[in-house]
Structure 1
Amino acid sequence: MKVLVFSQYFWPESFRINEVAESLQAVGCEVTVLTGQPNYPHGKTFEGYRASQISQEMHAKGYIIHRVPLIPRGKAKAVGLFFNYLSFVLSSALIGPFVLRGQKFDLIFVCGMSPFTQSVSAIWLGKLKKAKVVVWVQDLWPESLEATGFVKNKTVLSAVAAVVSWIYRHSDLLLVQSKGFISSVQNKAGSTPIKYHPNPGELAFNHTASDTRHASAVSFNNGFNIVFAGNLGTVQALDTVLDAAEQIKEHADINIVLIGSGSLTTWLESEIRRRNLRNVSMPGRFPVEAMPSILGQASALLVSLCRDPIISKTIPSKIQVYLAAGKPIIASLDGEGARVVEESGAGIGCSAGNSTALAHAILKLHALPTNELELMGRKGIEYYQQHFEPAMLARRLREYFSTLLASDPSFTAKDVKF
């Protein structure tokens, strides 16, 4: 089975689609990648690449990556993102057929992160290559634009909804990363079949020997260390985390460690200094390979999202990472993510955006005996193996592809499997 993985973001940028491509290769798919020139998250084209370049390289895992020109996102302002997104749509649609000339594919697999418009180019390529198109929906559009405040104009939101509906109806299969997405996607998808396919965990957690080179760079204090790892942005409700940290300052042995980077990095550093929060530290961003050893030093792991009915439908990818790490989880969120943590028995939760409830949850976990904390960790690993293990999900993904290509009449829009 020849699969073209289609994604604006790809290695050496750090995204889950990198490992999904590797896992597909491992289960027998012949993988090729079409992507842009890497520039995320800093907005500058990576060293060794050029924004205007058409290039090809062989990944160490044995598949070819084709790259088309891409305008860097810059400082991720609205104008910069618009041209960044538009450039990939145009490059992949106009130059993509040239770089892929003479190659045949059974299926085009679209990683449906921002920009959602990239799927238009994938559908165009699918027509040219006579290949099925599968879109893996990672965000709800236009709902997520409205929820984050990125777009408020109702006319623009309606236009986006129309484009999304066109994409869904012209795809051959839609995969959704959260059960909470299904009703919204169904309303726009027409007769296109929909399947629930969650984001897998990270392959680094499948290996007993992890990369320990960066573990010593994180200065954990002798105490109860709560680690938040990932994007430091507005959706993650980090103001709530700081407010909770302020409420538990008198508990000198409790420390909150924010690992990662994002649009709020500078603001967070400023707020920590202004509030004199000595119980909060920001050691920086580290590669995926280092995370097992870093998270392994934590006493508990924290996931938080802002309070919004649309945001509550998503499952943050860090939940899979946390479950695999085998540490108790504190979940300051609503909806699907909270359901996973509660269902797994791997931690305790509280409502999103409620700093007092988060402070109480931290103190409750802190007060538990070691054996109960260890039990939560073991339950997390068990749940991860059953629901998010990468090889298992890669096999399931290949089965979806095979069934679609075989045109199984049972594979219909009504056949939404959980």
Structure 2
Amino acid sequence: MNILIVTQYFWPEEFRINDLAIDLVKRGNTVTVLTGNPNYPQGKFFKGYGYNYKIENYKGIKIYRVPIIPRGNNSLILILNYLSFVIAGSLFAIFHKIKYDKIFAVNFSPITALYPAIVYKKRHKTQLYIWVQDLWPESVIAASKISSKFIQKVLTKMVENIYSQSDRVLLQSEGFVSSVKEKGVTDGQIGYIPNWAEDLYSDSSNIQIDKYKEVIPSGFKVMFAGNIGEAQDFNSIVKAAELTRNIPEIKWVIVGDGRKRAWLELEIVRLGLEKTIFLVGRYPVEEMPSFFVHADIMLLTLKNEDIFALTIPSKVQSYMAFGKPIIGMLNGIGSDVITNAKCGYVGMAGNPNSLAENVIKAYRLDSKKLFEMGVNGKRYYDANFSKTIVIDKLIGIFLE
């Protein structure tokens, strides 16, 4: 098949869509990607990129990069970033003459990033498959605290229109079903395509145990890997870390970057938590196994919002595939996965007291029990989220 993937974010930005595109090529498909110039999550262009149109080839994938405004560090610039991809991507779709068998568009936030795919579909009468990673308008209403019923209604109508343009709506979480059905999507259009972990998490040859040993503190390490943002509820993480500071052996290790990093750095100093919370910075996904190997338990958190109870954070699959136990502070589907897999401890979202108690419980647990939790998680991952199973299912949907 000749497949066009439309996504605002792509390599070298670190998203699962990179892995999907590579695997589709390995399976003999021709894959083209329409995307922007990389600037996530720092908000500035990666080295070698800027305000220009660019064509690249990456592992057999042809990439068309349209000029966009980088995310920056404030809400106005972020809105311009979103709009710039819609406009530049749609113009590309209008003038791009190559025909494809399928369009696969990824619904990260914002959902407006799907418009270039819709424009291409209408021009070339090609089947469109939307992969819903972020549920709209629920997620933007929660994140932006939108209380206006009029704005909520306008956003809902926009989402309904976008879904109506798609041949299939594929969901990363079964918790999304009721929402998309309320917006006019039929049972026959819905498919379940969860996220998976990159192969590197299951391959021990990717571990360089001594590579980052000097930046990792000694002690019982609670490790968070990913975006330092609002959704991850770092306010509660900091409060939980305060509650464990009387046990000096417990160290909270944060691997990543994001819009709240500056705030987090100031909070660590203000509260005197320099010997409790350690920020080691952002590293490529390829380096994560060499960090994970030093963790005693991995940390997974989401804010106490209804929308987040419906989603499975992609780091769940990464943690499980690597075989590490998990401490969770989240509600809903993500919490259920940890509980069903018997791979860690989980408490309610927005409850730093429960998080601290679970961390202390894990700290006092026999190391063999922690290891068994990690094995349970790996077993659950292999049965439910492995890349081979998920992509086989996606190919099957394409061929229907």
- Residue 397 of structure 2, aligned match among 383, 397, 400: 400
Which AA in structure 2 matches 1:245? Answer: A
Match of 2:132 in 1: 137
The alpha-carbon deviation at position 153 of structure 1 amounts to 3.2
Task: Choose 190-199 or 108-117, whichever is displaced more.
Answer: 190-199
Unaligned ranges ≥5, structure 2:
none
In structure 2, the residue matched to 1:194 is 190
Structure 1 residue identity aligned to 2:382? Q
Q: Separation in 2 of the partners of 1:150 and 1:45?
A: 29
- 2:235 is matched with which residue: 231, 239, 247? 239
Q: Percent identity?
A: 40
Shift of 1:252: 1.5
Pair 1:111-2:109 in alignment: no
| Residue 346 (1) aligns with residue 353 (2) | no
In 2, Cα distance between equivalents of 1:44 and 1:229: 21
Distance 1:81 1:209, change over 3 A: same
Output one character per residue of 1:88-113: Cα deviation in whole Å (capped at 9) or x when no partner.
11111112343x32x22111000100
1:74 aligned onto 2:72: yes
Matches within 5 A, 1:12-411: 12-51=12-51, 53-59=52-58, 61-75=59-73, 77-98=74-95, 100-101=96-97, 103-149=98-144, 151-191=146-186, 193-210=189-206, 212=208, 215-216=211-212, 219-277=215-273, 278-403=275-400
Aligned residues: 398
Q: Is the 8 A contact 1:225 1:298 kept in 2?
A: yes
Structure with the larger RCO, 1 or 2 (CA within 8 Å, 6+ apart): 1
Contact kept in structure 1, 2:42 and 2:259, CA below 8 Å: no
Aligned-residue offset at 1:150: 5.3
2:93/2:117 contact within 8 Å kept: no
Query: Aligned partners of 2:248 and 2:114: how far apart in 1?
Result: 50
Q: Distance in 1 between matches of 2:373 and 2:207?
A: 24
Describe the shift of the 1:217–1:297 C-alpha distance in structure 2 as closer, same or farther (beyond 3 A).
closer
Normalised by the size of structure 2, how large is the TM-score?
A: 0.95
**Paired amino acid for 1:238:** F
CA distance in 2, matches of 1:80, 1:143: 22
Aligned to 1:408: none
Displacement, 1:391?
A: 2.5
Contact 1:341–1:347 (8 Å) recurs in 2 = yes
Change over 3 Å in CA distance of 1:394–1:175 after alignment to 2: same
What is the deviation of 1:44?
2.1
Are the counterparts in 2 of residues 123 and 170 from structure 1 also a CA contact under 8 Å?
yes
- Report the alpha carbon displacement of residue 242 of structure 1 after superposing the two structures with TM: 1.2
Amino acid in structure 2 at the alignment position of 1:265: R
TM-score normalised per structure 1:
0.91
- Shifted more, 305-314 versus 151-160: the winner is 151-160
